[in-house]
Chain A
Amino acid sequence: MATIAGSRPRTAAAPLARRRPFSLGRFANRTIFYLLVAFIFVYTLFPFYWAIISSLRPDGDILRVPTTYWPDNLYLDHYRYVFNNGEFLRALRNSTVISLSTVLLALITGAASAYAMGRMRFRGRTIILYLILSMTMFPQIAILGSLFQVIRRLGLYDTIPALIFSYTTFTLPFTVWVLSNFFKAMPGELEESALVDGSTPFQAFYKILLPLALPGLVTTGLLAFIAAWNEFLFALTFTRAGGARTVQPTIASFTGNSQYEYPWGSIMAASVVVTVPLVLMVLIFQRKILGGLTAGAVKG
């Protein structure tokens, strides 16, 4: 093969390869490739499939060995239990309020700062940008104890605002970073036309540039929502069960209705309930989320 290819002009090699009829080696390659693809599909999707299946089985059937791999039952008692559980419902409401408020707070403060960072020159701009971005570096645990103290002194222990404000430690840096790149990329004529129209700089911001940044706002809003919804450490530490506690620590300490066996069915039902909205959101907005996730990598 090599000698034949070598005796021909090199450009002929590519079409030659394409015309090759059937080769066992290539067939095996294709097979291995598709087996690998199938394996990755199963690896990524099976666990969640298993959560759904398990949530629809009576507790006695969940840990049955040998088991069955298809839904053989439509047992809804676990969902009935979960939706009648006051603590879980309360946590679900807390999580919704906290996540939405976190998004709102991150977008309002983040968009304002990002606009200033991205389009204005003023002293201290770089320092503030670095300050906000450096927050991504330090771990939540580094401020856990002292933030706990601050929260208690402000009388915010076990309250919803305590979590909303502490969640800005991870939503704000990201929001500012993505949105300031958004504003930076906009043409300068937009503001000049606003100036000619006689609007103030603030009007130029919220009437002209902010609407144009809508795609960026959606992306960062989605990511902030997911981050707040999934947060565990602050929620576990700054709230009490039955108080302002969110769904994640509630599921982590779920005891269910059975004293004697681990309540796997209710745990899985609760898990499915808090995950389905996220999965749907991710599937619907996947392009926006992909763009937001990789924004740091490509630019950085």
Chain B
Amino acid sequence: MSQQAVSAPLARSAPGRVKLSEAPQSSWAKARERLGWLMVAPSVIIVSLVALYPLAQSVRLSFTNARLASGREEEYRGLTNYRFLLENNDFIAAFWNTVQFTIGSVFFETILGMVIALIINSNFSGRGLLRTAILVPWAIPTVVSSRLWGLMLTDRGVFNDLLQYRLPQLVDWIPGIGGSLAGIFPSPGNPIAFISDPNLAMPAVIGVDVWKTTPFMALLILAGLQIIPGDIYEASTVDGASKWQQFWQMTLPMVRPALLVALIFRTLDAFRVFDVIFVLRGPALDTQTLAIFAQQTLINGDRLGRASAASVLIFLCIAVLVFVYTRMVKVEEA
């Protein structure tokens, strides 16, 4: 803020009035170049302070035994932190949890996002309403969404109500096979512990994340779908192509650039996941991700050096992901 206040008067005092008799371009151009610098200066200062300097510090601290609380001098410890992490079972488990979570949530939200985007893109009354409706999960804060799904997935929550009472009643009504179908649901009084069962916890958090982030995926894919000209479909329908063929041979290749951008955004986001899991399950080991591990090491363990090393490793993983994806985009363009 203060930088801006400084830059404004400076900019005004720059050689301002241009007389038409002079060659105006040059002085105006010079003033503009100076103004350009002044205008980016606030952003550059803030970025350096809150991002670049901390990032460099993270790297430096990762080689030390620094702590947050104590005032003692930090000592250089070489690769000790990295060695510790790579031999630490919790860290390795956190890595695989993160990979599982990323693959699971990105996979399901891509498929679901594609289905929703295709539906909104097709011609039916109510498509505008549907597009508005999917903005609701997007707008709901992640913490709220986690708490809300936590309530719905408890032993006595609405999902167990559906599974134990409503759905069996519903399928029982189907003539013939209904009775045996109803048998596959848990009987009343035997709820499924979605959140506390270690085998179901990861699928549950993935489910919650998919609900919250599918709209973003759907909207990005929809933007890609809307720039495909409609007449190519008419032409291929005339040529006898089925809807299925049209999807695989026309829609998918043409929406690929938008899909790829959406995938990049979502993969990077999923890989650094913290809030959705932390609110639902805290630092429980079976769903602990790398970001939760690093945060716990910093706050509860007070190991700034080790937490920084974990952060640097997360950063490296993300850099690799970005590299792979940008290669894919380049291949795409070539």
Which A residues are closer than 8 A to B by beta carbons? 2, 5, 10-11, 13-14, 17, 33, 36-37, 40-41, 43-45, 47-48, 50-51, 54, 62-67, 105, 108-110, 112-113, 115-117, 120-122, 125, 128, 131-132, 135, 137-150, 152, 165-166, 168-169, 172, 176, 195-196, 198-203, 205, 226, 229-230, 232-233, 237, 248-249, 251-252, 264, 267-268, 271, 274-275, 278-279, 281-283, 286, 289-290, 293-294, 296-298, 300
Contact = CB atoms under 8 A, between A and B. Distances in A.
A10 B239 CA distance: 7
A229 B315 CA distance: 25
A117 to B, nearest CB: 7
A144 B298 contact: yes
B212 to A, nearest CB: 10
From A17, A36, A50, A203, name the one whose CB has the most chain B CB atoms within 10 angstroms.
Answer: A50
B182 to A, nearest CB: 15
B312 A142 contact: yes
B116 A65 contact: no
Contacts of B290: 141
A43 B274 contact: no
Contact of A251 (B42, B46, B147, B151): B147
Nearest to A196: B20
B116 A112 contact: no
B242 to A, nearest CB: 12
Contact of B143 (A50, A125, A232): A232
Given A65-B164, A200-B11, 11 more contacts: A37-B126, A63-B156, A112-B42, A112-B43, A128-B43, A139-B315, A149-B68, A200-B31, A233-B291, A267-B151, A283-B135
A252 B278 CA distance: 9
Contact of A37 (B31, B130, B132, B219): B130
Interface of B: 1, 3-4, 7-8, 11-12, 14, 16-18, 20, 24, 28, 31-33, 35-37, 39-40, 42-44, 46-47, 49-55, 57-58, 61, 68, 115-116, 119, 124, 126, 130-149, 151-152, 154, 156-158, 160-161, 164-166, 188, 191, 211, 215-216, 219-220, 222-224, 227, 234, 237-240, 257-258, 261-262, 265, 268, 271-272, 274-275, 278-279, 290-291, 294-295, 298-299, 304, 307-308, 311-312, 314-315, 318-319, 322
A278 B124 contact: no
